[in-house]
Chains A and B, each alone.
Chain A
C-alpha cells in the first residue's frame, strides 16, 4: 500500500499530498468523520461508514476507495466474478451476456450473475415476514440488510435499532456461500482455492486486510473491485465481443453463470427490492440524508405499522454508487429498458428455498450477541458539564458553520475543543473578535 495514503484498512484512504484542505469533504461527511487540520484532511476511521461521499466530493483526487485491481487475478487459481445488475446498467444497449463474456476475457474463470440470489433472499424474506407477523420475532419495521453503509450507520449512530435489522444474509453473502460450495465440489478443491471478486458499485469493503474480514461473507470474503476501476478495460473487451459473431460462453455448466432477470435488474434501483417482493406494508428510501432522517424517526418509535423498510445510502439506489462509471440516470434508463426486454417474474423453486429456510440456512449471525455490535463513535460521549460548555461555546461563536476551522460545523468544533482535539484559537470568528483562548475558556466555565 502507498504509505502516503493514511486510512488503509478502512473503506477509503486519503492521499494528503493531493489534499488542498478545502473542507468540502468535511462538510459532506454524514458521520462527521473528517476534519482539516494544518491544511490537510484527517480521517477518523472509527466513525467512517464507507458511504463514498468524500470520493464524490473531492476535486483533487485525494480520496481512494479500498479496492483490488485486475492484476490480483494472476495470483488466484480459480477466480470468480460476482456480478450485480449495476454493472450491466453501465453499458446501455449491451446484453448482459456480452458483458459477462467481456469479464472472462479480462481473466476471470467464472462469472456469476446475482439475480438468483436476489430471488433466494426475497423468498426467505417473505417467509420471515410472514413468521414475524405470527410470532413477533423482531420489532417492526424490519430494516433491509442489503445496503452495507446503512448497516454501519445503524451500528455507529443508531445502535438501538440493531434488533430491527432483518436477520437474513445479504444476497451477496448468499451468493458467496453458494458459489464456494458448488465450485469447490466441482473442482474437488478446498474452498481456499477459490477467489471471489465482487464487482462493486460502492466502497463497501475495508482494505484487503485479512485481520478485518467482512462479516457478510462466509470465508474471509471476496475481494472488492470497483466498477469504475475496471470499466475502461472491460468496455474494450465488451466492444471486442460484440464485434465478433456469436462466441459461445467458454464455460457455463452452472445454471447461475448467466441468469439475469428483470427482477434481478430491479435491484439496481431504489424500490426494486420492494417491488419484486410481496410485502404490502413496505417503504423504500434512498440518499444518505433521507436515510438518516428515516432512522431518526424509527428511533422515535414512528413507522411501527410498516413491516419492511428498504434503505439505500446512495440516491436512486445502487446505480448511484460512488464507484459506478456512468451517470446514475443513464444507468437507471438502461435498467428500465432491459427490464422491459427481459420481463419480470420469479424462477426459483420455492419449496426448495423453504426447505433451506427451515434449516436456518439463510440466517446471518448479525443480530446475535457479538455479531453486529454497537460500535459508537470514539470519544463521542460527554458529561452534562461538558455539554454545557459546548452549548456555551456555540453561543459565543454564534457562527455560520463556515468550516474554516476544519470541523464541519460550529457545534462539532466546540465538541472537538472540549475533547481537546482542537483549540479555540482555530476559530476565525473568535479571533476576529480578538478573544484569546484564556478568555474563551473563562466564558465557557462561567
Chain B
C-alpha cells in the first residue's frame, strides 16, 4: 500500500514547540509536490489541532497519513473531552482560559477553522474520554 504514515507527539502546555509538527507535515507535503492550496489547508488544520491539544487537550498524538488520493490528519488526546461538540463547532464559541486569550488564542475559531479547511471532519469526544478528531483532504478536489 503506497501510503506514508507519520506520528508526532504533542505535549499539553508546550507553547514553545507548538506548531512544529504541522510545519513538518507542511514541508513533507511540499516536497511531495502537492498543490500549494492543499498544503496550506492541511497546515492550518494541523496547527489548529495542535493548539487545541496544547491548550485544552492534554498530551496527545498527531498522525498524518499521506496517499496519492487523500491526506488524513488524526489527532487524539487524553484530555478532558468536549462537553458539547455541536457548540464547539460554532464560530466564536470558546472555553479557553483567560490567560490563553491574553496570548491571542481562544477566539473560538479552532474547530470551525478545521471544518472550513478540510473536506471531511469527524469529532469523537465525550467528557472524561479524551478527544479524537479526524480530518480528510481529498487530493485534486479543490486544487486547480
Q: Which residues of A contact B (CB under 8 A)?
A: 159-160, 296-297, 299-302, 380-385, 387-388, 391
Residue from B23, B36, B43 within 8 A of A301 (CB atoms): B43
Asked if B2 CB lies within 8 Å of chain A CBs, one says yes
In chain A, what residue has the closest Cβ to B117? A301
Bound: A297/B33 CA distance, A: 19
| Chain A proximity of B70: nearest CB distance (Å) | 12
5 pairs of A and B residues whose beta carbons are closest in the complex: A160-B36, A300-B43, A381-B33, A301-B44, A296-B23
Bound: A383/B43 CA distance, A: 19
Asked if B28 CB lies within 8 Å of chain A CBs, one says yes
Indicate if the CB atoms of A387 and B33 lie closer than 8 Å: no
| Chain A proximity of B108: nearest CB distance (Å) | 16
Indicate if the CB atoms of A388 and B4 lie closer than 8 Å: yes
10 contacts between A and B (CB under 8 A): A299-B26, A299-B43, A300-B19, A301-B47, A380-B31, A381-B33, A383-B32, A384-B68, A387-B4, A387-B31
Bound: A384/B4 CA distance, A: 6
Indicate if the CB atoms of B26 and A384 lie closer than 8 Å: no
Q: Which residues of B contact A (CB under 8 A)?
A: 2-4, 6, 19, 22-23, 26, 28, 31-33, 36, 39-40, 43-44, 47, 66-68
Indicate if the CB atoms of A302 and B67 lie closer than 8 Å: no
| Chain A proximity of B80: nearest CB distance (Å) | 26
Residue from B26, B32, B33 within 8 A of A300 (CB atoms): B26
Bound: A301/B22 CA distance, A: 12
Residues of A with C-beta under 8 A to B36: 159-160
| Chain A proximity of B138: nearest CB distance (Å) | 16
Bound: A296/B27 CA distance, A: 9
Bound: A301/B19 CA distance, A: 12
Residues of B with C-beta under 8 A to A296: 23, 26
Residues of A with C-beta under 8 A to B3: 384
In chain B, what residue has the closest Cβ to A302? B47
Residue from A159, A300, A381, A391 within 8 A of B6 (CB atoms): A391
| Chain B proximity of A407: nearest CB distance (Å) | 15
Indicate if the CB atoms of B43 and A384 lie closer than 8 Å: no
Bound: A159/B32 CA distance, A: 15
Indicate if the CB atoms of B23 and A385 lie closer than 8 Å: no
Residues of B with C-beta under 8 A to A380: 31
Residues of A with C-beta under 8 A to B33: 381
Bound: A202/B26 CA distance, A: 31
- Given the interface pairs A380-B31, A381-B31, the reply to whether A391 lies near B43 with Cβ below 8 Å is no
Bound: A294/B44 CA distance, A: 15
In chain A, what residue has the closest Cβ to B68? A384
In chain A, what residue has the closest Cβ to B20? A296
- Given the interface pairs A299-B26, A300-B26, A300-B44, the reply to whether A381 lies near B19 with Cβ below 8 Å is no
In chain A, what residue has the closest Cβ to B42? A300
Residues of A with C-beta under 8 A to B43: 299-301
Given A300-B43, A383-B32, A391-B6, 7 additional A-B pairs, CB 8 A: A300-B19, A300-B47, A381-B31, A384-B2, A384-B3, A384-B4, A388-B4
Indicate if the CB atoms of B47 and A391 lie closer than 8 Å: no
Bound: A301/B40 CA distance, A: 7
| Chain A proximity of B44: nearest CB distance (Å) | 5
Residues of A with C-beta under 8 A to B47: 300-302
Residues of B with C-beta under 8 A to A301: 40, 43-44, 47
Residues of B with C-beta under 8 A to A381: 31-33
Most B C-beta atoms less than 10 A away, residue of A296, A297, A300, A391: A300
Residues of B with C-beta under 8 A to A297: 19
In chain B, what residue has the closest Cβ to A300? B43
Bound: A302/B22 CA distance, A: 12
Bound: A416/B116 CA distance, A: 38
Bound: A391/B65 CA distance, A: 13
Residues of B with C-beta under 8 A to A391: 4, 6
Indicate if the CB atoms of B39 and A160 lie closer than 8 Å: yes
Bound: A388/B23 CA distance, A: 18
In chain B, what residue has the closest Cβ to A296? B23
Bound: A179/B73 CA distance, A: 55
| Chain B proximity of A386: nearest CB distance (Å) | 9
Residues of A with C-beta under 8 A to B22: 300
| Chain B proximity of A39: nearest CB distance (Å) | 29
Bound: A159/B68 CA distance, A: 22
Residue from A299, A382, A384 within 8 A of B40 (CB atoms): A299
Bound: A358/B86 CA distance, A: 51
Bound: A287/B6 CA distance, A: 31
| Chain B proximity of A306: nearest CB distance (Å) | 12
Residues of A with C-beta under 8 A to B4: 384, 387-388, 391
Bound: A384/B66 CA distance, A: 8
- Given the interface pairs A387-B4, A391-B4, the reply to whether A382 lies near B23 with Cβ below 8 Å is no
Residues of B with C-beta under 8 A to A300: 19, 22-23, 26, 40, 43-44, 47
Residues of B with C-beta under 8 A to A159: 36
